[in-house]
Amino acid sequence: MTALLAALAVIDLGFGDGGKGLVVDFLAREMGAGVVVRFNGGAQAGHNVVAPDGRHHTFAQLGAASFLPRVRTFLSRHVLVHPTALAHEARVLASRGVADPLARVRVSERARVITPFHQAANRMREVARGHARHGSCGVGVGETVDHAARHPDEAIVAGDWRAPRQLVRALRRIRERLRAELALLPRDTPRSAREWVVFERPDVIDQWVSQVAPLADLVVPDAALAGWLRGGGAVLFEGAQGILLDESIGFHPFCTWSDCTARGARELLAEAAPGAELRVWGVLRAHAVRHGAGPLPTETAEVRPLCDHNGENAWQGSVRYGWFDAVLARYALALAGELEALVLTHVDLAATRMAWPLCTAYGVSGARDPELLDDRGQLVALPAPPLARQERMAELLSRCVPGLADAPGQESGLVAAIEALIERRVDLVSRGPRASDVARRRASG
């Protein structure tokens, strides 16, 4: 039966915000997919989809194809689940005409769970970092991963939603441990003082458990995914964040606590449908984008007026934009593994200018580290780099000066110039926010 299964993963080759939601929605419509599997990240995802009738939603935990009534979402064990945010997202989708969204969602009983205390701790630590902040979304993903790694016996997983009394005891342990750790942090700003209240209010645990209790019916063993896939058809594995934020190959400390490659998707597919082949699509934006702190070598104010969709949030500030960065794109492509297709999004923005600058190589202010930046001004990619190397890479990127060359703003010229720089064919382009704006490109020759 698995031979009839079409399985495809969508990953981001940048810092996120590349257009994964658009591509997942496009593929679900094209392939007739019935299942979307979230295989990394957590509730900090922001995958924008505009339905053919104009309805818009920024998907955080539900699969980005959820405007389609036949599509179900499986939140795998690799996802950090924020239960109250999941319930809120379902209510928002229901208000936009999606019938009973949670009826089409199942959660692995092994998925780690973000609690109010993890979210508050995450925010307090980020505030305390001041100008050295890491760029956290403030949702609590990293805090939850770190806590589970340091104290595995205290980790809460979705299966615990079935046992409220046990859940209350676990929450009390987490609250007391984090309160002791955070007591040493300053609480002299309105933000940190507001988050500290979460540890002081006596009703937080009972309220949270009562809100989570209805979601216990969504919890299933990992083997449930195999049942969903047994009938064949098509399944989409929806990635979160981007390769340049990956916990191992991203630029520390400005990273997510998640594997942003397709590795998790391959693992889940091998378990649920042995023998099925996973195809991988990479998504790359026609200009650089980053939400949160960290290096963005081609950053410029000139792109911002062209991008009016992404707004500001209290934890990451405004979305940052830059010119297309072929150096970072080549780095991501070298580490992403084999791709069946490359999608270049937002190509319509370039048409607003006669010329569209592209970064071809880096110069550097100060000493060049030849282990990180070669004599052609290209980053040296290693598949399993030590953490200290990626910290050096982040420092180097903060000093890099982009070498820019103009490409035509007209689509065919722009795409050809990008292809030449990244030494990789662009297979599809998107010219807008809807699935109908995605187009395959004809092979040359």
Do 122 and 91 have their domain in common? no
pLDDT of residue 335: 97
**In terms of residue numbers, what domain contains 267?**
2-96+223-440
pLDDT of residue 3: 47
Do 191 and 167 have their domain in common? yes
Do 44 and 192 have their domain in common? no
pLDDT of residue 310: 52
Contact 105, 69 (CB under 8 A): no
Do 155 and 87 have their domain in common? no
Do 291 and 424 have their domain in common? yes
How does pLDDT run along the chain (445 residues), one tens digit per residue?
444 799 999 999 999 999 999 999 999 999 999 999 999 999 888 899 999 999 999 999 999 999 999 999 999 999 999 999 999 999 999 999 999 999 999 999 999 999 999 999 989 888 877 776 665 667 889 899 999 999 999 999 999 999 999 999 999 999 999 999 998 887 777 888 888 999 999 999 999 999 999 999 999 999 999 999 998 889 999 999 999 999 999 999 998 889 999 999 999 999 999 999 999 999 999 999 998 889 999 999 999 888 755 555 565 567 899 999 999 999 999 999 999 999 999 999 988 899 999 999 999 998 889 999 999 999 999 999 999 999 999 999 999 999 999 999 999 999 999 999 999 999 999 999 999 999 999 875 4
Do 165 and 276 have their domain in common? no
Q: Which of 183, 217, 251 is the last residue of a domain?
A: 217
> Domain total for the chain?
2
Residue 403 lies in a domain: yes
pLDDT of residue 135: 59
CATH (domain of 60): 3.90.170.10
Residue 227 lies in a domain: yes
Q: Which of 190, 217, 244 is the last residue of a domain?
A: 217
Do 254 and 386 have their domain in common? yes
Q: HEC profile for 119-185? A: HHHHHHHHHHHHHHCCCCCCCCHHHHHHHHHHCHHHCCEHHHHHCHHHHHHHHHHHHHHHHHHHCCC
Do 310 and 375 have their domain in common? yes
pLDDT of residue 133: 65
Do 239 and 185 have their domain in common? no
Residue 107 lies in a domain: no
Do 380 and 270 have their domain in common? yes
Do 75 and 157 have their domain in common? no
Residue 156 lies in a domain: yes
Do 355 and 414 have their domain in common? yes
Q: Name the one residue in this structure whose structure tokens are 């063993």.
A: 221
CATH (domain of 152): 1.10.300
What's the predicted TM-score (pTM) here? 0.94
Complete DSSP assignment for 181-244: HHTTS---SHHHHHHHHHHH-TTHHHHHHHHHGGGGGGEE-TTHHHHHHTT-EEEEEE--S-GG
